[in-house]
Amino acid sequence: MKQTDRRDFLKLAGMAGVTFTAGLFPGREAAAQAGGDFHFVQFSDTHWGYKGAANPDAEHTLEKAIVTVNGLAKQPDFIVFTGDLTHTTDDPKERRNRMKRVKEIIGELKVKDVRFMPGEHDASLDKGEAYKEIFGDTHYTFDHKGVHFIALDNVSDPGAKLGDEQLAWLAADLKKHKPDDRIVVLTHRPLFDLQPSWDWATADGAKAIDLLMPYQNVVVFYGHIHQENNHMTGHIAHHAAKSLVFPQATPGPDAPPRRPPPPPYDASQKNLGTRDISMAKAVTFVELPVTKA
């Protein structure tokens, strides 16, 4: 990313922050991207309904983040929620109440073009039944200013699978696109084996990656792991977002075999937040705090 681009983007975002730039969309020449510049914001893992020591402020964290995003100097074209909108409950009525309430809160966003995806907390206990009633389809596509977005559901199957039917749907959708089309995949769980012993994977995610591999300009944004993580499978970049409830332990080769509990609550909430993603010649993003300093 050129320095001028970076300054422009920070101005666009309306606040300074650490900008992450991957060499994304490497196969796409600038001339082919005229008119494609825009930005959108990713929220993830709001876990509405969570009550616990990992975030005693959980009831208000989402509202604070919405105020921050509403305060951006230039509002995003749209907003995505990559799953775990609600914290799970065995009670189907309470599940729906939580979904309705979180939808109400999200209604406070200035931007009204909001795209939802489920997480396992929303959809795994009832195969997405309540989620579909309140938020709609669990997987779908949309296009925006020359970029093709694909929302994948790897949570409605309680075994964390996309399933053959959805994979066939994905294959059929991709066939309509040229190898150098710009494609953004949105999903909840990592499609690759990030930390299999912590269940941070999608059982058949490798099949989706295989289908995406012939396309030169693919970026995946996901949630689930409650922290930033940047990973490449070949030329495909995968970026995990922070959550709005609590962070999780850091994965890696030296991590313990069992996932440790979340770290103690940090009242600064600096390990929580949302993400502003700019789609220009390269894809860049800046992490937004819960509360603007």
Partner 1 sequence: MKRRYFIALLVAGSAAGGVARLEAATTREVEVIAEKFDYTPDMIKAKVGQPLTFVLTSVDRIHGFKMPDFGVRTDIVPGVDTRVTITPTKVGKFAYFCDVFCGDGHEEMAGTLVVEA
Distance CA(222)–CA(210), nearest Å, equals 18
Q: Is 253 in the site for partner 1 (CB under 8 A)?
A: no
Compute the distance between CA of residue 24 and CA of residue 226 in angstroms, rounded to an integer. 23
Q: Which of 111, 114, 125, 211 binds partner 1 (CB under 8 A)?
A: 125
In sequence order, what are the residues at sequence separation of 6 or more whose Cβ sits closer than 8 angstroms to the Cβ of residue 17?
A: 10, 286, 287, 288, 289
Min separation Cβ 168 and partner 1, Å: 23
- Interface residue with partner 1, options 234, 253, 256, 264 (CB under 8 A): 256
Residue 50 or 116 having the CB closest to partner 1: 50
The yes or no reply on residue 193 touching partner 1 (CB under 8 A) is yes
Q: How far is the C-alpha of 58 from the C-alpha of 244, rounded, in Å?
A: 8
CA distances from 272 to 49, 80, 199, 243, 266 (A): 17, 16, 21, 5, 9
Select from 173, 172, 115 the least CA-distant residue to 148. 173
Query: Cβ of residue 198: shortest distance to partner 1, in angstroms?
Result: 8
Asked whether position 89 contacts partner 1 by CB under 8 A, the answer is yes
Stretch that binds partner 1, among 133-141, 163-171, 255-263, 265-273 (CB under 8 A): 255-263
The binder of partner 1 chosen from 24, 25, 82, 120 (CB under 8 A): 120
CA-based angle 232:272:25, to the nearest 5? 25
What is the distance, to the nearest Å, from the Cα of residue 94 to the centroid of all Cα atoms in its chain? 25
- Give least dist CB 84 to partner 1, A: 11
CB of 86 to partner 1, least distance (A): 11
Residues in touch with partner 1 (CB under 8 A): 87-90, 120, 124-125, 155, 158-160, 193, 196-199, 201, 203, 256-259, 261
